[in-house]
């Protein structure tokens, strides 16, 4: 099966943690303001998506900062491991003030708990921008 986009729409954004605020403009660009210095996983913004267990997904988005660089942790949801602990598969990326497009892939197991694309962005006070372009199915063989 070839990679295909299954979700190309306006997204329903939410935030978590008290160190971040956000707004979404008419072009679906989320302006995220980190207003309280914290650890990277103490706050972020999240986009839920419809997904299926035992599959693979490709996440395409743009991200950039107002100034400087920032490391963010992009989480694909949560999964329960064999010992019953929940963990959040992720990839770390470093964004700069230059708008860049990212394409990340993740294999979803049968133990998947929730389908959310989360951008954990705690750290120094600052502003960043995120635009989700698509979330779609991916070839499992390429992962």
What domains are defined for the chain? 4-142 (2.60.120.260)
Sign of CA dihedral 23, 12, 14, 108: negative
**How confident is residue 6, by pLDDT bands cut at 50, 70 and 90?**
very low
Percent of the chain with pLDDT over 90: 69
Choose between 8 and 16: higher pLDDT.
Answer: 16
Strand partners, 6: none
CA distances from 126 to 11, 48, 67, 105, 129 (A): 23, 24, 8, 27, 11
Mean pLDDT throughout 101-118? 92
CA distances from 116 to 68, 98, 119 (A): 27, 25, 10
Averaged pLDDT score across all residues of the chain: 88
Spatial CB neighbours of 67, under 8 Å, sequence gap ≥ 6: 97, 126
Q: Decide: residue 127, CB within 10 A, 0-12 exposed, 13-18 middle, 19+ buried.
A: middle
Q: What is the Cα 46 distance to its own chain's centre?
A: 6
**32-42: pLDDT as tens digits:** 999 999 999 99
For residue 80, the model assigns a pLDDT of: 78
With a threshold of 0.95, does the pTM exceed it?
A: no
């Amino acid at each position: 099966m070839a990679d295909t986009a299954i979700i190309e729409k306006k997204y329903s954004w939410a935030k978590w943690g008290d160190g971040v605020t956000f707004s979404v403009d008419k072009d679906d660009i989320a302006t995220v303001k980190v207003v309280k210095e914290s650890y990277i996983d103490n706050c972020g913004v999240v986009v839920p998506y419809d997904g299926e267990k035992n599959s693979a997904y490709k996440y395409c988005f743009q991200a950039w900062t107002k100034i400087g660089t920032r490391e963010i942790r992009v989480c694909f949801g949560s999964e329960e491991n064999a010992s019953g602990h929940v963990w959040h598969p992720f990839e770390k990326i470093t964004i700069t003030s230059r708008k860049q497009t990212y394409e990340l892939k993740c294999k979803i197991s049968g133990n998947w708990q929730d389908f959310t694309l989360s951008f954990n962005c705690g750290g120094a006070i600052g502003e960043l921008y995120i635009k989700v372009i698509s979330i779609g199915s991916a070839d499992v063989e390429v992962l």
